[in-house]
Amino acid sequence: MSIFKPCIKNVETALRGIRRFFNETPLEKNTILSKHHGASVFVKHEDRSVVRSYKYRGAYNKMASLERGSRVVTCSAGNHAQGVAYSSGLLGLQADIFMPTKTTTQKIDKVLGFGGSNVQVFLEGDTFDECNAIAQHYCVKKKLGFVHPFDDIKVIEGQATVGLEILGSESEIDYLVLPVGGGGLAAGVSSVFRQLSPHTKIIGVEPMGAASLTTALANKGPLKLDKIDTFVDGAAVKMVGNLNYPLCEVGLDKVLCVHEGHVCSKILQMYNESGFIIEPAGVLSLCALDLLADEIIGKKVVCVVSGGNSDVFRMPEILERSLIYEGRKQYFRVEFAQKAGALKDFILRVLGPGDDIIYFRYTKLINRETGPVVIGIETRDKMAGIGLAKRMVEGGLVFEKLTNIADI
């Protein structure tokens, strides 16, 4: 495994290059989060960059090292692709950009808008890893250079400039919280902090359904996951970068895994409380505040919000996942008696005041006394939801609680 340590001089050079075209992103104290957690919580708003994520940093730094007029290939779930597309115009490069077929239309349109005639977009594979394999094969076939979204020295040093900007604005930082996908941001920024602010405790955060770094740490090296949940698309990779892993291993004090439902609740909270529209990967660091609640009281904490490329068409799913996570919406597969009045009997025996049936699907079976019903119930709060299963047990009903949205 190749091991390197980002040189502060190289990161400073990268920042000077980036500053030619890109403004510094704001680091702001969030009064609502600070009050809620009894801490001084600062948010590094990478969601306010021109491409609404930090990915332009690594993309630009890598591409600036290439000969003008070059043609490159990259693969991305969306944000890195936008960074490559934007940089291609600035630097006079051509880019063939591969993105998973499930990439939102909003991200695809922005890539095409930023890159114009400098880019071509290819939609391949269901996940980043499938898409990346196709892009790598294409790269070899066409004999072109590859701009990796996270596992590249120049890219890591570009992402590390986030750390220099933070330390240029604030000092005596007790906690730094960084989202983790492939590990480029975490590797670069933690390396800068280890050299310039060694007392800061650094926390990495990744989605529970794509815990590639947690798995790698347990395995003592990168290990490809068999299956991942792609909901937090900006951080959903099957394997952390080979260059990034050793840096994260020594640079991060702790790595936390956040439930996808928690991510959804935090997106809604940040919109309702502060008016911020943040993508799923972008709120990972803010979710970590809830998991670190006892530790951070009275501390100065910096959270990196990595991106704000959120598609409004995803909001119904985000709301659904949030309500399920918070226990306010529950789905059950219940065996109903196949006779008149079965639903009425269920309502009288199980539903409490304020409970509402929001989904009902019944399959009538021949020559059976009972048949399966999938029923969704929304409650006022989590405590009201706890009683649903208890009353079904007391009523002698045969049921199964559904927690996977795909099963509903």
- The CATH number given to whatever domain includes residue 86 is 3.40.50.1100
Beta strands 71-75 and 145-147 are parallel
- Structure token pair of residue 301: 């904490």
What confidence category does residue 405 fall into, taking pLDDT thresholds of 50, 70 and 90?
low
* Same structural domain, 232 and 306: yes
Boundary-marking domain end, from 274, 289, 319: 319
* Same structural domain, 36 and 184: yes
**pLDDT surpasses 50 at 1:** no
Instruction: For 45-55, give one letter per residue: b (16+ CB within 10 A) or e.
Output: bbbebebbbbb
Domain count for the chain: 3
Integer Cα distance of 197 and 277 in angstroms: 30
Cα-based distances in Å from 217 to 20, 160, 240, 322: 38, 21, 10, 29
Whose CA is closest to 154, among 27, 29, 14? 14
Segment (H or E) for 44: strand 40-45
In this prediction, residue 354 carries a pLDDT of 87
Average pLDDT of 99-122?
92
Does the residue 145 lie in any domain? yes
H helices of 252-298, in order, are 260-274, 284-291
* Same structural domain, 275 and 131: no
* Same structural domain, 194 and 122: no
Choice among 40, 44, 55, 76 that is catalytic: 55
* Same structural domain, 123 and 164: no
* Same structural domain, 92 and 64: yes
Average pLDDT of 69-90?
94
Q: Note down the domain range covering 98.
A: 55-153
* Same structural domain, 198 and 120: no
What confidence category does residue 301 fall into, taking pLDDT thresholds of 50, 70 and 90?
very high
Q: What is the pLDDT of residues 304-316, one digit of tens each?
A: 999 999 888 899 9
Average pLDDT of 71-96?
95
354: CATH: 3.30.70.260
Strand, helix or coil for residue 151: coil
DSSP 348: H
Strand, helix or coil for residue 95: strand
* Same structural domain, 194 and 308: yes
Integer Cα distance of 67 and 153 in angstroms: 17
Whose CA is closest to 149, among 84, 228, 229, 88? 84
Share of the chain above pLDDT 70, in %: 98
Q: Which range has the top average pLDDT, 92-106, 125-139, 288-302, 349-363?
A: 288-302
Share of the chain above pLDDT 90, in %: 81
- Structure token pair of residue 14: 């990268």
For residue 206, the cross-strand partners are 257
* Same structural domain, 48 and 191: yes
Torsion angles phi and psi, residue 268, rounded to 5: -65, -40
Does the residue 16 lie in any domain? yes
* Same structural domain, 17 and 135: no
For the question of residue 55 being annotated catalytic, the response is: yes
- Average pLDDT, whole number, for the chain? 94
Does the residue 1 lie in any domain? no
- Structure token pair of residue 81: 């692709």
- Are the C-beta atoms of 277 and 106 separated by less than 8 Å? no
**pLDDT surpasses 70 at 359:** yes
Does the residue 331 lie in any domain? yes
Integer Cα distance of 60 and 162 in angstroms: 14
- Structure token pair of residue 184: 């480029």
Tokens 């104290």 label which residue? 29
DSSP 307: B
Torsion angles phi and psi, residue 201, rounded to 5: -85, 125
Integer Cα distance of 156 and 148 in angstroms: 10
Average pLDDT of 199-221?
97
Does the residue 250 lie in any domain? yes
What is the number of H-type helices and E-type strands within the chain? 16, 14
**pLDDT surpasses 80 at 4:** no
Average pLDDT of 16-28?
97
Boundary-marking domain end, from 132, 153, 174: 153
* Same structural domain, 297 and 205: yes
Average pLDDT of 15-28?
97
For the question of residue 70 being annotated catalytic, the response is: no
Choice among 306, 310, 322, 329 that is catalytic: 306
Between 70-74, 214-218, 328-332, the lowest mean confidence (pLDDT) is in 328-332
* Same structural domain, 88 and 206: no
- Are the C-beta atoms of 115 and 88 separated by less than 8 Å? yes
Higher pLDDT, 235 or 367: 235
Tokens 């992103």 label which residue? 25
Does the residue 25 lie in any domain? yes
Does the residue 2 lie in any domain? no
Tokens 């299963």 label which residue? 389
The whole-model pTM stands at 0.90
Boundary-marking domain end, from 111, 131, 153: 153
Tokens 């340590």 label which residue? 5
